[in-house]
Amino acid sequence: MKKATNTASDEEKDAYIGRKFDRAAGSYDESRLVKSYQRRVQKLVIARMSIEKGMNVLDLGCGTGQGTIDIALKLEGTGNVIGIDLSEKMIEQAKKKLDNFKSKNVKFMVGSIGSVDYQDYFDFVFSTNAFHHFENKESIFTKVRQSLKPNGVFLVQDICDDYLLMRLLDLAGKIGQKEHVGSMKSKELESLFHKTGFTNIEVEKLKINWFFRVMIGNGIKRDSKIER
């Protein structure tokens, strides 16, 4: 594992997002949005992950860490699961949850995929309800691919701009929320997987409730031996 270099601009943007979510961290899990939408989608995503004992998993944009702990429970004390988030206060909330969780295979850290590099380490990297906050999405895909073992899987869930309501939500976020960088259409997500060398790409669109429409995309880092 080695440190990566971020530009000053990237660091400033990351710091702003971190501070924004710091202010929400204390009551985040009890918010209506999290209870009625985000946790529901997160559980759906995790249910689709073929988690096996001994795997290493990264939760990118883990928030208060509930999804990270869900994965750890599936691992039953084996392997390693790391939750990473830009918000120091979110990570503090996540670590509090470990007080009643005795497994030592969980780690939470403040940062982004750009702040540390893992080479050929993870079996799964997943991100839920977070990618609309990320700049330089293609760069993130590239770093995630580097961090995956051969045949490792990257899974991304976010709101889907194929739908008018979600495009309006995206526009409102861009106008009123500095931390909202922008969501994508399903073809854009699929294209990112292709551009960064993933294979076996799938993107599915889902209706979660009367309002939210999301997409779940995944791709595999093909074994380099097979690629040759």
pLDDT of residue 102: 75
Average pLDDT of 11-19?
Answer: 81
Residues 182, 135: Cα–Cα separation, whole Å:
8
Instruction: Please state, rounded to an integer, the average pLDDT across all residues of the chain.
Output: 89
| pLDDT given at position 75 | 95
Residue 4 reports pLDDT greater than 50: no
> DSSP characters for 155-186?
EEEEEBTTSHHHHHHHHHHHHH-TT----B-H
Q: Answer whether residue 226 shows pLDDT above 70.
A: no
Residue 5 — very low, low, confident or very high, per pLDDT cuts 50/70/90?
very low
pLDDT at 140 over 90: yes
pLDDT score, position 9: 67
User: Strands across the sheet with 213-220, in order?
Assistant: 106-110, 80-85, 56-60, 122-128, 148-159, 213-220, 199-207
Is a pLDDT exceeding 70 seen at residue 81?
yes
Give the amino acid at 16.
Answer: Y
Q: What is the pLDDT of residue 1?
A: 42
Handedness of CA 206, 108, 58, 180 (dihedral sign): positive
Give the mean model confidence (pLDDT) for residues 155-159.
Answer: 97
Q: How confident is the model at residue 3 (pLDDT cuts 50, 70, 90)?
A: very low
Q: Which positions ≥6 away from 76 have C-beta within 8 Å?
A: 53
Please report how the helices 66-75 and 88-97 are oriented relative to each other, as an axis angle in degrees rounded to 10: 40
Q: Which whole number is the average pLDDT over 78-91?
A: 95
- Is pLDDT of 228 > 50? no
| pTM of the entire predicted model | 0.90
